[in-house]
């Protein structure tokens, strides 16, 4: 009974979200990218993690990126949530974590911030879903694409990470760039920079950043999320985790609440 109910909710959610996207007219962080314009890609999330424990008893702060995929859920990299030994874990975060979205520049606008209260880890690839403490109702979530990506397909990247690996710090400005799919593997895709430079690439603290097909400037269709890659900026393949291979699992988690 629960499985049938979840499937029905998934179909309704995807149908409604797709209809919303189709009604929209088509259209720093990321190394060698461009700063997002005000109001652009409000679904892009900046995670702030504080007081993360180390095995020696000390603590540190960190950050990740992500994207809103329902009023209560954000998608990001699984490795953003871990225990003291950096093993991926689910459930309530083991350190204070907030998600900020609805802004492109923290100095100009604080955006909307929620605490993360629960985490669900994918068993397939480096992806986690993070539940917000309260829903976001004024931003259109990304819709997860159920169709496998194709080599040569171009995607947009939006992240809150650093712009270089040298003395890297989390960004306060949302940066974007265009990449192309260079290879498709079982649960990942490799992407490389296209615009504004072949060296356009994800950087530190961009983990979990969305790769998506824009629909206008405020909505889009999610294809993958940032996982790992060479030092940035670079013109090599970046490893990103496919979302189509866990499409059903994602919407089952959302439906289950």
Q: Which long-range contacts (CB under 8 A, 24 or more apart) does 56-63 make?
A: 62/170, 62/205, 63/160, 63/161, 63/170, 63/205
What is the Cα–Cα distance from 206 to 155, expressed in whole angstroms?
16
**What is the Cα–Cα distance from 251 to 115, expressed in whole angstroms?**
21
Gap between the Cα atoms of 246 and 235, Å rounded? 28
Give the strand pairing for 219-228 and 143-144. Answer: parallel
Cα separation, 190 vs 68, in Å, equals: 23
Tokens of residue 143, six digits:
């819709």
User: Which tens digit of pLDDT belongs to each residue from 43-59?
Assistant: 999 999 999 999 999 99
Q: Please name each of the domains of the chain with its CATH number.
A: 143-244 (2.40.10.10)
CA distance 15 to 129: 20
pLDDT at site 257: 84
Q: What confidence tens digit (pLDDT) does each residue in 127-169 have?
A: 999 999 999 999 999 999 999 999 999 999 999 999 998 989 9
Residue 1 has pLDDT above 70, yes or no: no
Mean pLDDT of 75-99: 97
């Amino acid at each position: 009974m629960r499985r049938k109910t979840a499937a029905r909710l998934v179909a309704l959610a995807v149908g409604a979200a797709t209809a919303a996207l189709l009604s929209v007219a088509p259209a720093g962080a990321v190394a060698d990218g461009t700063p997002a314009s005000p109001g652009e890609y409000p679904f892009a999330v900046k995670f702030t993690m504080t007081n993360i424990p180390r095995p020696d008893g000390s603590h540190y702060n960190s950050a990740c990126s992500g994207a809103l995929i329902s009023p209560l859920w954000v998608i990001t990299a699984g490795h953003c949530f871990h225990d003291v030994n950096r093993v991926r874990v689910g459930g309530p975060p083991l350190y204070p974590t907030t998600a900020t979205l609805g802004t492109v520049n923290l100095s100009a606008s604080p955006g909307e911030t929620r605490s993360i209260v629960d985490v669900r880890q994918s068993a397939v690839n480096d992806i986690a879903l993070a539940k917000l403490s309260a829903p976001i109702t004024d931003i259109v979530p990304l819709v997860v694409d159920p169709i496998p990506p194709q080599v040569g397909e171009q995607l947009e990247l939006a992240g809150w990470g650093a712009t270089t690996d040298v003395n890297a710090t989390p960004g306060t400005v949302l940066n974007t760039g265009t990449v192309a799919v260079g290879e498709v593997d079982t649960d990942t895709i490799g992407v490389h920079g296209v615009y504004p430079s072949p060296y356009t690439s994800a950087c530190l603290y961009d983990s979990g950043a969305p790769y998506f097909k824009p629909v206008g400037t405020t909505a889009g269709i999610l294809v993958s999320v940032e996982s790992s890659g060479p030092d940035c900026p670079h013109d090599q393949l970046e490893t990103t985790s496919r979302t189509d291979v866990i499409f059903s699992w994602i919407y089952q988690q959302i439906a289950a609440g």
